Amino acid sequence: MAEGSHLDGWTEMGPDWEVPPPMRTDIAHGARIYDYFIGGKDNFPADRAAAEHVLELRPSLALAARANRRFMCRAVEYVASQGIRQFLDIGTGIPTSPNTHEVAQSVIPEARVVYVDNDPMVLVHARALLVSAPEGRTAYIDADVRDPSSILDHPSLRKVLDLTEPVCLMLVALLHFVADEEDPYGLVAQLLDACPSGSRLILTHGTEDFSDEAGARALQAYRASGVNLHLRPHAEVLRFFDGLELAEPGLQLVNRWRPDNDLDRQARPQDITWYGAVASKP
C-alpha cells in the first residue's frame, strides 16, 4: 500500500473531484430527500417538496431515516471495537456528521475510510467534510455500486485500503435503489469476493413488511417524484448475507439492533422502514 503523511490526516480525492458532473436540482434525488429527513441542509426545493409530500402521507419516515442513521453509527462503532480498521462506505450520501470516519476513528484513530457515491452533491461536499483524523486516512471516489470494478480497481481505494486485510463493506440505505434486473445480489457478492476472510458487512435496506395504507401511499409519492425504490421483505434482505455469519441479534429493524436510546427502544415497527444487520465473512 502506498504510504503518505500522517501529520495532518490525509484525504485522497478521486481525480475528477474538481469538476463535478452536471447536477439536476429541478428533479428530486433520493440522497437529498434522505438528507432532508435527517435534518440536513444540502437539498433543493424539488427535494424538499417531494420529502414534505411523502411526510404528509407518512410522518414517521423522518423518524425511520434518523433511526437508520443511528444504526449506522452503532454498527460502525461495534465493528471498529472488534479491531476492524478499514471501511469501504458505498452510497455514503451527503456528508452529515457523524460520518463513518468520525465514528470509526473515535474508536481507532488510525482507521481508514473510503467513501463512494455517484451523486454530484456528495462530490461537491466531499473534500470539505470528509477530513480524516491525524492518524488515519479517508478517500472519496465518484463511482456507482452497479459497477463494482470501477470501485475496487480505483487508484484512490488502493492507496488507502489494503484488501489483503479485513475491510468493513458498508451498504447503508443503498440497495433499495437497485432493481432486481440490475442483480443487486451479484453486485454484493462481487464486492465481498474482493474482501478477505474476517471482513464485515454493514447493510440496511428498506422494507414494506410493516407497511399500512399510509405507507403504500407514501411509497407511491416517492416514486412519483422520480425516485424509484425497490423495497424488499425480510427473506429477500437476508439473502444479501448468504455465506456470512450474522452478529447478534441478526437481521432486525434498525431500531432493534442493539438500541442504546429510548427513541429506538420505543419505536413502533410500522414507523421503521429499514432492516439492518452486521455480518462477518468466514
Q: Are 91 and 145 in contact (CB under 8 A)?
A: yes
With cut-offs at 50, 70 and 90, classify the pLDDT of residue 8. Answer: very low
Task: State pTM to two decimals.
Answer: 0.85
Residue 22 has a pLDDT of 63
126 vs 263: which has the higher pLDDT: 263
Alpha-carbon distances, residue 128 vs 80, 94, 115, 235, 253 (angstroms): 24, 12, 13, 39, 33
Tens digits of per-residue pLDDT, 231-274?
999 999 999 999 999 999 999 999 999 999 999 999 999 889 89
Residue 240 has a pLDDT of 98
With cut-offs at 50, 70 and 90, classify the pLDDT of residue 129. Answer: low
Residue 188 has a pLDDT of 98
Average pLDDT, the chain: 85
Task: State the Cα–Cα distance between residues 16 and 58, nearest whole angstrom.
Answer: 38
Of the listed ranges 43-47, 101-105, 138-142, 159-163, the least confidently predicted one is 43-47
Per-domain residue ranges for the chain? 10-280
Tens digits of per-residue pLDDT, 50-109?
777 777 777 777 888 889 999 999 999 999 999 999 999 999 887 777 899 999 999 999
Q: Is 246 helix (H, G, I), strand (E, B) or coil?
A: strand
Q: Are 50 and 219 in contact (CB under 8 A)?
A: no
Task: State the Cα–Cα distance between residues 151 and 275, nearest whole angstrom.
Answer: 25
Q: What is the mean pLDDT of residues 187-214?
A: 93
The architecture CATH gives domain 10-280:
3-Layer(aba) Sandwich (3.40)
